[in-house]
Amino acid sequence: MTARARRAPMYTPGRVFVMLLPFLAVLAIGFALPLVKAVGDSLSAGDGFAASYSALLDDPVFWDILLRTIRTAALISVICVVIGYPTAELIAGAPARVRPVLLALVIVPFWSSVVARTYGWFGVFVKDGVIDSVAGLFGGGPQRMLYSELAVVVGMVHVLLPILVLPLYAAVRNYDERLSLASLSLGGGRMRTLFLVKLPVLAPSILAATTGIFVIALGFFVTPALLGGPDSQLMSNLVSQQVLQRYDLPRAQAMSIVLLLAALAALALSAGAYNLLKRRLA
Amino acid sequence: MGSHILGLQESRAPSAPSGLTVRGLHKTYGQDVQALHDVDLHAGEGEFVTLLGPSGSGKTTLLMLIGGFDTPTRGTIFQGSADITAVPPERRNFGVVFQNYALFPHMTVRRNVAYPLAARRVARAKREGRVKDALSLVGLEDMEDRRPAELSGGQQQRVALARALVYQPSVLLLDEPLGALDRSLRERMQTELQRLHKQTGVTFLYVTHDQEEALTMSDRIAVLRLGQIEQVGTPQDLYERPATEFVATFLGLANRFHCRVLQVRRGVAEIQLSFGARAAIPCADNTLRPGMAALVVVRPEELVIADSEAQDGLELQGSIEEVAFTGTIWRYRVRTREGVVQAHSICRLEAAAGDAIWIRWSARDSWAIPAGSAPAEPASP
């Protein structure tokens, strides 16, 4: 074989770097620089090092909203799994001809604008909206659901559900159904098979998908802004308020960074748990 | 002895006879995909029955129906005299070993093997001993704390067997359990499976596409083709007295010579071969009628290669096309006017490729079957 016949590898590290340059530039200008600047500004603003942080940590309202954000994100993640896993099972188990239709029912909303979908719920919860009309049929009065925490949770579950269903569907499809058949043949009933065999085997995938939902929910803005009231604002709404209404940029930056740290902590915890689960399976 | 080894001195409960009978089983998928067509089969208590067939013959479908993982379109499955067609798999008390073993990856070997005991609510204290017994039955004593991923293929296979035998099932269903193992390990596991079968006394229903495996291990073999049972019999029956050309060619090599039936007596057909010779060839009752086109089946080891004509009995002139040594036998490909003929010899002959020779065989060692069924796909030699 001659040297000419051997083709040079198409993707040398140098070429890959050149091809990645536009992406890296956008990432640097749009993400890394602002982040570094936000960290720097938030640490140096006011009198003394990290003054905006200590002010923040002394503010009970901040703690309230941070905990509410984490609680809401956790609640949404749990609701999404409880609804999303059976949905994924249903789609994966559907006849081959029906499956694409069911998948489309999940994907099409996923492709639609979050604002539009949230406004859909607005019409449901608003005074004299769908819920009030239905309640009226049964003699009930206005339900005052708009601007409640419930409205925020329902809206966010709806928006985030596809992001959970799609990876879970893939995981269920990849699951070796013979494990369940083996469990049945060994005398394990349907419940034992589900809880002691199938779910433990799927656990890493479920954990990964749920962590995704949790982290996205932590920073969610549009739905709580539109459907939530003053008592159901989440961290991102508070940040926006600091910027747009109080012009307190360092405080907003400090809040964002605390939120970012919370998300990173969640990811780290989840990654640890994931590795633990994976090791049990490997 | 088996019960003893598995830690239960009491003998098998007499209320659960393990004889299995399948009657008129049909399985159709969707509108028109017929996976099984009118299958009848019986496996006696403690028998080793193999379902043998090429891929797509319905053997795994049949096993899955017997295991209760799928419901037949029509037909009945009996255990003893009890109709179990509608009994769910978890209540059939059958053991199943899947081709990929289907060990639970998140459990240790101990928990895998204890799983069926836990499902049967066997007291925790008793489980330990029975798990140990089952693992020693398959020769895996020191692996209890390992996970399946830490075991070799052969070891995983043994764990799967231990797990399927620990609760003393009445029937063990095995779906190509040796398919993923390399050749030498496969041969060792064959011996191992036969030993387990003898030792436990459990009825084995074994699916394979490997004819050698089927011949070696089974008490009886059911050959499946296109969703139907082609023939059921002992390995020797099938090899020496195949019912169809498919069975003849699927189990080992078979030379076939076209002939016409002249006359049929009990168990013997008077035939005229297409190259002129006449002979009385053994055949099964009620398969041949005078005037029918038939085939004379001769196994390669029944053919004798000679350098001259004998002019008595069945013989054909030809020339050697190829000589191959396999380690145990010499294989000769001989070109004749009836096509290529395979002859095996345990000793080396003087003949070499290109030589003109005569092949000869005795009518006694041949077998006549009706022509017209299709031969098996060229299998691995």
Residues in chain B within 8 Å Cβ distance of A190: 90
Residues B182 and B261 in one domain: no
In this structure, the answer to whether residues B227 and B281 fall within a common structural domain is no
Residue B195: per-residue pLDDT: 93
Number of separate domains in chain B: 2
Does A218 score more than 50 pLDDT? yes
- CATH value at residue B235: 3.40.50.300
* In a shared domain, residues B217 and B323: no
Query: Do residues B197 and B334 both lie within one domain?
Result: no
Token code pair at residue B136: 């020693």
Shared domain check, B310 and B219: no
Are residues B112 and B224 located together in one domain of the fold? yes
Of the pLDDT bands very low, low, confident and very high (cuts 50, 70, 90), residue A11 is confident
User: Does B272 lie in the same domain as B230?
Assistant: no
Range of the domain at B305: 254-370
Buried b (16+ CB within 10 A) or exposed e, B272-309: ebeeebebbbebbeebbeeebebbbbbbbebbbbeeee
Of the pLDDT bands very low, low, confident and very high (cuts 50, 70, 90), residue B306 is confident
What's the pLDDT at B282?
94
Judge whether residue B302 has pLDDT over 80. yes
Mean pLDDT of B235-245: 94
For the ranges A247-251, B67-71, B124-128, B130-134, which has the lowest average pLDDT?
Answer: A247-251
**Residues B102, A201: C-beta atoms closer than 8 Å:** no
Q: Is the domain of B226 the same as that of B270?
A: no
When the candidates are 1.10.3720.10, 1.20.120.160, 1.10.10.10, 3.40.50.300, the CATH number that belongs to A60-281 is 1.10.3720.10
pLDDT digits (tens, 9 = 90+) for A169-217: 999 999 999 999 999 999 999 999 999 999 999 999 999 999 999 999 9
CATH code: domain of residue B284? 2.40.50.140
How far apart (Å, rounded) are the C-alpha atoms in residues B48 and B234? 10
Tell me which residue in B90, B102, B149 faces A179 most closely, judged by beta carbons: B102
Is residue B107 included in any domain, yes or no? yes
pLDDT at position B7 over 60: no
Size of interface A-B (CB pairs under 8 A): 76
pLDDT of residue B18: 57
Judge whether B248 lies within some domain. no
pLDDT recorded at residue B1: 38
What distance in Å separates the CA atoms of residue B173 and residue A10, rounded to the nearest whole number? 51
For residue B183, the model assigns a pLDDT of 86
DSSP per-residue string spanning A97-150: TTHHHHHHHHHHHHHS-HHHHHHHHHHHHSTTSHHHHHHHHTT------TBSHH
Say if residue B3's pLDDT is above 50: no
Residues of A at the B interface, defined by Cβ within 8 angstroms = 176, 178-179, 181-190, 192, 196-197, 200-201, 203, 280-282
CA–CA separation, A146 and A133 (whole Å): 14
Asked whether the beta carbons of residue B69 and residue A197 sit closer than 8 angstroms, the reply is no
Which of B96, B120, B147 is closest, CB to CB, to A185? B96
DSSP B325: E
Does one domain contain both B258 and B329?
yes
Flag whether pLDDT at B12 surpasses 60: no
Residues B275 and B339 in one domain: yes
Q: What is the mean pLDDT of residues A151-168?
A: 94
pLDDT for B172: 95
CB contacts of B100 in chain A (<8 Å) are: 176, 178
Is residue B80 included in any domain, yes or no? yes
Supply the mean pLDDT for chain A: 90
pLDDT band for position A260 (cuts 50, 70, 90): very high
> What is residue A5's predicted lDDT score, i.e. its pLDDT?
56
> How confident is residue B19, by pLDDT bands cut at 50, 70 and 90?
confident
Interface test with A, best of B29, B104, B161, B174 (most A CBs within 10 A): B104
Q: Do B119 and A187 touch (CB under 8 A)?
A: yes
pLDDT of residue B310: 77
A280 to chain B nearest CA, in Å? 5
Residue B2 has pLDDT above 80, yes or no: no
| Beta-sheet strand order (sheet of B33-43) | B33-43, B20-29, B74-79, B82-83
Residue B38 pLDDT greater than 90, yes or no: yes
Boundary-marking domain end, from B187, B207, B240: B240
pLDDT band for position B294 (50/70/90)?
very high
Q: Is B207 on the interface with A (CB under 8 A)?
A: no
- The answer as to whether B184 is a domain residue is yes
B147 touches chain A (CB under 8 A): yes
pLDDT digit string, tens, across residues B90-137: 899 999 999 889 999 999 999 999 999 999 999 999 999 999 999 999
Q: Are B284 and B193 within one domain?
A: no
Nearest CA in chain A to B146: A280
B381 within domain boundaries: no
Residues B219 and B304 in one domain: no
Domain boundary among B211, B240, B269: B240
Of A176, A187, A280, the CB nearest to B102: A176
Given a cut of 80, is residue B266 above it in pLDDT? Answer: yes
User: For residue B377, what pLDDT is reported?
Assistant: 63
Give the pLDDT score at B369: 93
Is B357 part of a structural domain of the chain?
A: yes
Contacts of B88 in chain A (CB under 8 A): 184
Domain contains B380: no
What are the chain B neighbours of A189 within 8 Å (beta carbons)? 90, 119
Reported as a pLDDT band with limits 50, 70 and 90, residue B9 is very low
Q: Is B94 on the interface with A (CB under 8 A)?
A: yes
Residues of chain A with C-beta less than 8 angstroms from the C-beta of B163: 186
How would DSSP label each residue in A162-175? HHHHHHHHHHHHHS
Domain end call among B176, B211, B240 = B240
Tokens representing A280 are: 């049990």
Is residue B363 in a domain? yes
Predicted pLDDT at A282: 61
Residue B292 has pLDDT above 80, yes or no: yes
Q: Per-residue confidence at B14, pLDDT binned at 50, 70, 90?
A: very low
Asked whether residue A9 carries a pLDDT value surpassing 80, the answer given is no
* Gap from B19 CA to chain A (nearest CA, Å): 18
Q: Mean pLDDT throughout A252-263?
A: 92
